[in-house]
Structure 1
Amino acid sequence: MGAEDGTGAEERYTVISADCHAGADLLDYKPYLERRYHDDFDAWAAGYVNPYEDLLADTADRNWNSARRLAELEADGIVAEVLFPNTIPPFFPSASLMAPAPTAAEFERRWAGLRAHNRWLADFCAAAPGRRAGVFQILLNDVDAAVEEIHRSTDAGLKGGLLLPGTPPGSGLPELYSRAYDPIWAACAELGVPVNHHAGSASPPLGDEPAARAVFMVETTWFSHRALWHLVFGGAFRRHPGLRLVLTEQGSGWIPGVLDMLDYYHGRLVAAAGRASTAESKFGAGLAAAMGDRPSEVWRENCFVGASFMRPHEVPLRDRIGLDKIMWGSDYPHDEGTHPYTREGLRFAYAGLPREEVAAMTGGNAARVYGFDLAYLDEIAAKTGPTVAEIAEPLDTPPADATSPVFARGGSVRVW
């Protein structure tokens, strides 16, 4: 929480968004590509048709216009951000990192495109020192190349850590519980950078039927949740105790129930493994030795949640989730984000809570996980952050033109 600025100003919160998005305008990626790909990029870009309305609108430059971002976020009460990708990287048909490359040559080009995005992002973060933690991208098809990029991106100053792609059905990749990915977990643990798994990065393609979008909405967070039990049951945290996993924009209310379920299966299978005569014993064979602690204990030691626009009905679960685990996010510049009503969103969710709890969820936890300098950010927040008194005032009527689901009817019932 921000301190007073010495002029008698009201105490303010230092708000860090743990979920924002950025990327270069399409042609601006070219200078960040290795020269040998420039001709291919020119040909690809000339024929590319962007399918995303938000990247064609006059607000698209929020993704890459540094001055505009800083001004709009400060006006919204936010002083720092964790940056996930948003625009189309070179040679990809869409923003999906799981779009399968049909040939080895196409995979090589897409890998070059992701590395170009990472280079661009390092420069974009450097344009606002101390206020942006960039999340770099990899592909899982080549683990050695991924490890090399983890080291290069971290050395380039990207403090946001790794964006972990999913392995949805049909990807042809080993599942995330596979030991094939151990070099990736080892590199992230060694360098102290988190592994981030963002909603939408693990869903399989669903086709173009009318129901596809509704099914996607129902299933996409579940496919993203899978990373948790894959890494837990796969023993990644036991082999790499310093590994940290952040699950972002997947909600947070599901966490206590899922941890209870995982603990149940852990106990059941470990117990069954000791009864060789039972049909269930084969399911628990080797599990205890591989994964170690109960899933809920692993969560307490190693995991965090990027709780984008946390909803009021999730707030009463904060102690069961872990107050030191929750990192609020605005999802800027997406229209489902809280901009320009972040203050209202925070009031709607957090009014009435102890201010030290609000301070942890809106900034303190993110500063610890992503390495932000709170003392530096407090100075900025002393002028632009929402006041403690402001957030303490309940919001009974959401803004009429707000588009964030935090205000959605039926999804944000106040129960505390």
Structure 2
Amino acid sequence: MSEDRYTVISADCHAGADLLDYRPYLEKRYHDDFDAWAATYVNPYEDLLADAADRNWNSDRRLAELEADGIVAEVVFPNTIPPFFPSGSLSAPVPTREEFERRWAGLRAHNRWLADFCSAAPDRRAGVFQILLNDVPQAVKEIRRAAGAGLRGGLLLPGTPPGSGLPELYSAAYDPIWAVCEELDVPVNHHAGSASPPLGDEPAARAVFMVETTWFSHRALWHLVFGGAFRRHPGLKLVLTEQGSGWIPGVLDMLDYYHGRLVAASTRAATAEAKFGAGLATSMSEGPSQVWRSNCFVGASFMRPHEVPLRDRIGLDKIMWGSDYPHDEGTYPYTREGLRYAYAGVPSEEVAAMVGGNAARVYGFDLSVLDPIAAKVGPTVEEIAEPLPEPPADATSPVFARGGSVRVW
């Protein structure tokens, strides 16, 4: 933060290559397969077919639009479809071993492309790389390679939705992944939408997806907590992104309740509940709230007004605001208005932590480099302190949704 302007770092942006631009990043032995795949591939996402799709890969346009929106740096999650995938889902069923190998090749191509994209503005981009969970040794190898290539945004953790056939995230099978992330100080990011099972094509499917998708993403928290990942790897960092933040205090209360109840029950062998708590105290060592305080963070994309009063219960040092650029539900081009809508009246030092300081600490941004840029383009402290009378008429972000100040999910 400069003297009178905020240094805004978006902890949730998205990027990816135009489809054919992934080809040079594939190993040559996959080029013919890629040509055949790309010739018939139909992109399922409307925003990747629109005129504005190049926001995903046009570096100059991206820097200009983010600066105009008051943002000086970003954590870059994937967006476009990697080669050989039917969609962006890392948990999509894999029919054959050959197809599995092609998808790994596609993810490596994306990660290589993203490293180059971030290198065009290395102080201002922290890229998040992708892996698959089906082959843990290969995942560990790619984590080392991607981190070594400069992708300091960390790992995008796939979900294990029902029907995926993968071990649950609490499984010790993933310990080599947690170990290498701890060793290299690589954040483990779990983004909303990556853990939901397929719901089919019925008319209600989209509504049900909206109701359930964040819950399926939240599961990573209690899986890793109860699975003891943080006891075995105390330096591991988990970031839950674009899942809201208002749910966190209530869920931590619930997890603490079950933890205490089951640990206590485990000492009373004659009770029916004893078996549910067996070994829990040893495997976890600390309660869920303490694990949250020690190891977890929230990428609180376009934080809503009702979530801000909960900041002390969530942890002021845990919250990282995000714009979700270039998605339609993101705050662009009304980030300043979105920040006013959420943070007017909040002490400036607290706003500074949530909109940039925390992300700088978690993802390794150098504020001595970013603050001078923010001194020119960042929103002013005075501006954000002024309440927003009315949301912009054409704003599409849920931060401005009617009733947004009273909803609790």
**TM-score scaled by structure 1?**
0.97
SS of match in other structure, 1:59: helix
User: Are residue 20 (structure 1) and residue 13 (structure 2) matched?
Assistant: yes
- The alpha carbon displacement at 1:411 in A equals 1.9
CA-to-partner distance for each residue in 1:336-383, whole Å, 9 max, x for gaps? Answer: 000000000000000001000000000000000000001100010000
- 1:253 aligned residue (237, 241, 246): 246
Alignment match, 2:76: 83
Aligned with 1:306: secondary structure? strand
The Cα shift of 1:413 comes to: 4.3
Deviation at 1:2, TM superposition (A): 2.1
**Which residues in structure 2 correspond to 1:122-137 (within 5 Å)?**
122-137=115-130
Give the aligned residue type for 1:297. Q
CA distance in 1: counterparts of 2:88 and 2:233, whole angstroms: 31
**Residues matched between the structures, number:** 408
Structure 1: distance between partners of 2:323 and 2:105: 30
Q: What is the aligned partner in structure 2 of residue 7 from structure 1?
A: none
The residue matched to 1:134 in structure 2 has which SS? Answer: strand
CA distance in 1, matches of 2:111, 2:328: 24
Corresponding residue for 1:203?
Answer: 196
Residues 290-326 of structure 1: CA deviation (Å, up to 9, x unaligned): 0110000000000000000000000000000000000
CA RMSD of the aligned region, Å? 0.9
- Residue in structure 2 matched with residue 2 of structure 1 by the alignment: 2
1:296 aligned partner, one-letter code: S
Provide the residue aligned with 1:307 in structure 2: 300
Distance 2:386 2:405 in 1: 17
Contact 1:323 1:360 in 2 (8 A): yes
Question: Structure 1 residue 51: deviation in Å?
Answer: 1.2
Report what 2:61 is aligned to: 68
Q: Which residue of the other structure, out of 41, 44, 54, is the alignment partner of 1:48?
A: 41
What one-letter code is carried by the residue in structure 2 that aligns with 1:334? H
The residue correspondences of 1:43-192 to structure 2 (distance < 5 A) are 43-192=36-185
Tell me what 1:382 maps to: 375
Q: Is the Cα–Cα contact under 8 Å of residues 312 and 414 in structure 1 kept in the other structure?
A: no
1:359 aligns with 2:349: no
Q: Which residue of 1 aligns with 2:386?
A: 393
Question: SS of the counterpart of 2:306?
Answer: helix
2:37 partner amino acid: W
Match of 2:32 among 39, 42, 47: 39
The alpha-carbon deviation at position 228 of structure 1 amounts to 0.2
Alignment of 1:251-330 (within 5 A): 251-330=244-323
* Residues 29, 120 of structure 1: 8 Å contact kept: yes
Q: Distance in 2 between matches of 1:334 and 1:303?
A: 25
Aligned partner of residue 17 in structure 2, secondary structure: coil
* Residue number in structure 1 paired with 2:335: 342
1:403 aligned partner: 396
Q: Which runs of 5+ in 1 are unaligned?
A: 4-10
2: CA distance between counterparts of 1:162 and 1:274?
Answer: 38
Distance (whole Å) between structure 1 residues aligned to residue 378 and residue 113 of structure 2: 28
What one-letter code is carried by the residue in structure 2 that aligns with 1:53?
E
For 2:42 and 2:314, locate their aligned partners in 1 and report how far apart those are by CA, in whole Å: 42
| Aligned counterparts of 2:404 and 2:344: Cα–Cα separation in 1 | 17
Unaligned runs of 5+ in 2: none
Taking the aligned partners of 2:220 and 2:337, their CA distance within structure 1 comes to 32
Q: Please tell me the residue identity of whatever aligns with 1:348.
A: Y
The answer for the alignment partner of 1:215 in structure 2 is 208
1:388, 1:303 → 2: CA distance?
A: 28
**What is the distance in 1 between the residues matched to 2:8 and 2:406?**
24
**Amino acid in structure 2 at the alignment position of 1:401:** D
Matched residues, percent identical? 87
Counterpart-to-counterpart distance in 2, 1:307 and 1:395: 20
Q: State how far apart, in whole Å, the 2-side matches of 1:22 and 1:352 are.
A: 33
The CA distance in 1 between the partners of 2:12 and 2:263, in whole Å, is 37
Q: Secondary structure at the match of 2:174?
A: helix
Distance in 2, matches of 1:62 and 1:28, equals: 14
1:44–1:91 Cα contact (<8 Å) kept: yes
**Would the aligned equivalents of 1:80 and 1:132 in 2 still touch at CA under 8 Å?**
yes
What is the rounded CA distance, in whole Å, between the counterparts of 2:404 and 2:342 in structure 1? Answer: 12
Distance 1:40 1:156 in 2: 26
Aligned to 1:368: 361
SS of the equivalent of 2:387 reads coil
Aligned AA for 1:347?
R
Deviations 1:26-69 (A, max 9, x none): 00000000000000000000000111110000000000000000
For residues 44 and 300 of structure 2, the distance between their equivalents in structure 1, rounded to whole angstroms, comes to: 28
Q: Distance in 1 between matches of 2:2 and 2:33?
A: 49
* 1:181 counterpart letter in structure 2: Y
